[in-house]
Amino acid sequence: MNLFLAMLPTIMTAATPLLLAAVGELVVERSGVLNLGVEGMMIIGAVTAFAGAQATGSPYAGMVCGILAGAAFSLLFGFLTLTLVANQVATGLSLTILGLGLSGMIGDSFVGTPGIQMGALPIPGLAEIPVVGPILFSHDLIFYLSILLVIAVHWFLFRTRTGLELRSIGDNHDSAHALGMGVIRVRYLAVMFGGACAGLAGAQLSLVYTPQWTENMTAGRGWIALALVVFASWRPVWVLVGAYLFGAVSIGQFNAQAFGFGIPSQFLSSMPYLATVVVLVLISRNRRLTLMNTPACLGKPFVPDR
Amino acid sequence: MKKLLLALTASLGMIAAAQAQDKDPTLACFVYVGSHNDGGYSEGHDKARLFLQKEMGDEVKTKYVENVSEGPDATRVLQQLARSGCNIIFATSFGFMDSVVKVAKQFPDVKFEHATGYKTADNLATYNARFYEGRYILGKIAAKKSKTGTAGYIVSFPIPEVVRGIDSFMLGAQSVNPDFKIKIVWVNTWFDPGKEADAAKALFDQGVDIIVQHTDSPAPLQIAEKRGKFGFGQASDMSKFAPDAQLTAIVDHWGPYYVQRVKALRDGTWKSQSSWEGLKDKILIMAPYENMSADTKKMAEETEQKIKDGFDPFTGPITKQDGSVWLKKGETAKDETLLGLNFYVKGVDDKLPQ
């Protein structure tokens, strides 16, 4: 039991970058745009956040730099796919490749430099509650932001008029356009939101998770975030469930190895992915639910008729 | 007059040519699997390249190609380097082996050197370092330093290099505390700071107080620092990341070998060989022993000296994990066995992934 409680904060730290990037991408995809550049935006966020923290001495300034850089980088994707109507899949992939290369170049001089850790911010009053306090209310700022973001995105998508507009643009951009909605404008904003979230996820990696900069430090987390969006059938709360499930199985398998249960380590390493596939299969048995939530215009180019 | 001038220019020309031949720098080329500043393995080679450049000055020119993936890409890069006038090419990753064998055959006039491989040819030599000698010292320090009698060991892939490290570490630890235990966690990657940090946290949560890593990022050490526990650096001195947690580090030091080989090439004494050197040849060096008692430090230094004087960590009696005898008393392991090592010694509480 004690071990389980000790594992929980570790799981939360591991799940937070996945959750952040996935929630951002969820909004992008709900607007009908498929941005496969999450990994690239994330690593740009990581390197910029690291650089910002080094330059100012403050991890919070670094975090803001990471968010802004992620959003700015996503604008490149937005310009190519929304204004120039380039293929979204190809553009997203090249955004990832560009991000990985560019971040390596920017971060060249930071390799081998210890980073600035963003410390924990215990919430006064709540953090003193036994057991629950240290686990839930003694985290860093980015963790709290990630939870608030899920709630905010859920409320925005399903409880506000703008959220409804965004979803209808994702489902049928021609009708939305005919109704006078600014399809391109909304999509630009969604793409930038996704970029900002990916940037924040990157900042979490280089300021909280492992305070350092090394090339390719995202190590595929952007791709897992993309998979989580599908896993969650484009529902924010399920992204939270998915990210924590993935985090829990990843951390759990390390603990299982250290315990020496004698289960082959390759099998344990594949557990997070296996668990995701199993849940995905279970979810997709409900065809109606999946169809209802999949944005019908996902990845389709939009050229307004004049 | 005209004749004289002609003769003069001709002789001047000849002198210049002769001088040029003397001074023609050797072009030494390097191929890295990672980036030149990955903070670990490839950076170790790049530091050695700079060391070579500094040591030999005008006599050598160097260039490198980084982030070369193992396979057809490596073949292409090696061919291109050989064609562009490299005199000697150092292929620094195990996975370049088949490419380097193929290209060495195509370019008999170029010399090739392959790190950690085992295939040689007339113009292809191999070189490696006995990193396990350092791990024996780590084992002794860990056993002396640990209060719980248990160390955590974060590992990448079950290849002989890694298994040698675990066995040697365990033998070192057992020479201090026969009941010493290790908990092994395979992360199945050489480099993923997040995963390495998670593995370190899992191990600390389960009560180990020292961690050893055979993965490349300083993330596990950072976790040790944060939790007030201890660990060892990998491939380079990582004390900057964990000034209060790093006990020592095994530091790759390929530089002197590169100097020696390029000099041999210039003297015309270069021969194909399989070099496997250790602490005494300074191809690996130990970072300063820190954060430990004077007593432990003395023991570590004595062990290091003992190995330099010829002691082999794999000296019997050694029992395999399954209880059968591997080495009798006084017997040492053969290099062939070590190069293909695929079993644990007694006391390792883990099943080796096959």
Residues B161 and B226 occupy one common structural domain: yes
Q: Which CATH number is B25's domain given?
A: 3.40.50.2300
Residues B188 and B319 occupy one common structural domain: yes
**What is d(CA B249, CA B232) in angstroms, rounded to the nearest whole number?**
5
Q: Cα distance from A218 to chain B (closest Cα, Å)?
A: 8
pLDDT at position B140, please?
97
Contacts of B183 in chain A (CB under 8 A): 257-260
Across the interface, whether the CB atoms of A212 and B222 are under 8 A apart is answered yes
Closest chain A CA to residue B37: A111
The per-residue pLDDT for range A127-155, each reduced to its tens digit, is 888 888 888 888 999 999 999 999 999 99
Domain count, chain B: 2
**Using CB atoms within 10 A of its CB, is residue B8 exposed (0-12), middle (13-18) or buried (19+)?**
exposed
Domain span at residue B86 reads 11-129
3-state helix, strand, coil in chain A (%, to 5): 75, 0, 25
Q: Which two tokens stand for residue B290?
A: 């820190």
Which residue is listed with tokens 């630890």?
B173
Q: Cα distance from B314 to chain A (closest Cα, Å)?
A: 26
pLDDT at position B21, please?
46
On the question of pLDDT at A31 being above 70, the answer is yes
Residues near B10 by beta carbon (within 8 Å), at least 6 away in sequence: none
Number of A–B residue contacts, CB under 8 Å: 111
Closest chain B CA to residue A119: B226
Mean pLDDT in consecutive groups of 10 residues from the start of chain B, 354 residues: 51 46 82 82 91 94 92 93 95 92 95 91 94 96 96 91 94 96 90 92 93 92 95 90 95 93 94 92 93 96 96 94 93 90 91 80
Q: Cα distance from A258 to chain B (closest Cα, Å)?
A: 5
Residues B320 and B189 occupy one common structural domain: yes
pLDDT at position A231, please?
86
B218-222: Cβ within 8 A, 24+ apart: B218/A212, B218/B39, B218/B193, B218/B242, B219/A210, B219/A212, B219/B193, B219/B194, B220/B154, B220/B196, B221/B245, B221/B246, B222/A114, B222/A210, B222/A211, B222/A212, B222/B197
B201 in A contact zone (CB under 8 Å): yes
Residues B122 and B156 occupy one common structural domain: no
What secondary structure does DSSP assign to B36-98, as a single string? TTSSSHHHHHHHHHHHHHHHHGGGEEEEEE-SPPTTHHHHHHHHHHHHTT-SEEEE-SGGGHH
B48 and B254 in contact (C-beta within 8 Å)? yes
Residue B99 lies in a domain: yes
Residues B170 and B291 occupy one common structural domain: yes
pLDDT at position A81, please?
96
**What is d(CA A131, CA A127) in angstroms, rounded to the nearest whole number?**
9
Residues B227 and B306 occupy one common structural domain: yes
Give ipTM to 2 decimals: 0.85
Phi/psi-derived region of residue B236, left when phi > 0, alpha when psi is between -120 and 50, beta in every other case: beta
A199 and A142 in contact (C-beta within 8 Å)? no
Dihedrals phi, psi of B342, to nearest 5 degrees: -140, 30
Dihedrals phi, psi of A123, to nearest 5 degrees: -80, 120
- Other CB atoms within a 10 A radius of the CB of residue A59 amount to 24
**What is d(CA A63, CA A205) in angstroms, rounded to the nearest whole number?**
10
Read off the amino acid at residue B330.
Answer: G
A168 and A161 in contact (C-beta within 8 Å)? no
Which residue is listed with tokens 């975030």?
A225
Across A250-272, average pLDDT: 84
pLDDT at position B195, please?
93
Phi/psi-derived region of residue A91, left when phi > 0, alpha when psi is between -120 and 50, beta in every other case: alpha
**What is d(CA A259, CA A276) in angstroms, rounded to the nearest whole number?**
24
Last residue of some domain: B69, B101, B129?
A: B129
Residues B146 and B290 occupy one common structural domain: yes
**What is d(CA B266, CA A19) in angstroms, rounded to the nearest whole number?**
58
Which residue is listed with tokens 């300063």?
B288
Q: Cα distance from B299 to chain A (closest Cα, Å)?
A: 29
Residue B256 lies in a domain: no
Across A203-226, average pLDDT: 93
End-to-end CA distance of chain B: 83
pLDDT at position B7, please?
52
Residues B223 and B92 occupy one common structural domain: no
The per-residue pLDDT for range B113-139, each reduced to its tens digit, is 999 888 899 999 999 999 999 999 999
What secondary structure does DSSP assign to A93-146, as a single string? HHHHHHHHHHHHHHGGGGTT-B-PPPPP-PPTTGGGSTTHHHHHSS--HHHHHH
A216 and A107 in contact (C-beta within 8 Å)? no
Residue B158 lies in a domain: yes
Residue B270 lies in a domain: no
Q: Which range, of A146-150, A194-198, A262-266, B140-144, averages the lowest pLDDT?
A: A262-266
Last residue of some domain: B98, B129, B160?
A: B129
Last residue of some domain: B77, B97, B129?
A: B129
Residues B157 and B24 occupy one common structural domain: no
Residues B170 and B87 occupy one common structural domain: no
CATH architecture of the region A2-108+126-293: Orthogonal Bundle (1.10)
Contacts of A7 in chain B (CB under 8 A): 202, 205
pLDDT at position A80, please?
97
B331 and B315 in contact (C-beta within 8 Å)? yes
- Other CB atoms within a 10 A radius of the CB of residue B34 amount to 23
Residue B117 lies in a domain: yes
Residue B179 lies in a domain: yes
B71 and B99 in contact (C-beta within 8 Å)? yes
Residues B75 and B165 occupy one common structural domain: no
- The C-alpha torsion from A41 through A46 and A49 to A55, rounded to 10°, is -120
Interface subset of A 128-157, CB within 8 angstroms of B? none
Residues B138 and B214 occupy one common structural domain: yes
Residues near A7 by beta carbon (within 8 Å), at least 6 away in sequence: A248, A251, A252, A255, B202, B205
pTM of structure: 0.86
pLDDT bin (cut points 50, 70, 90) of residue A265 is confident
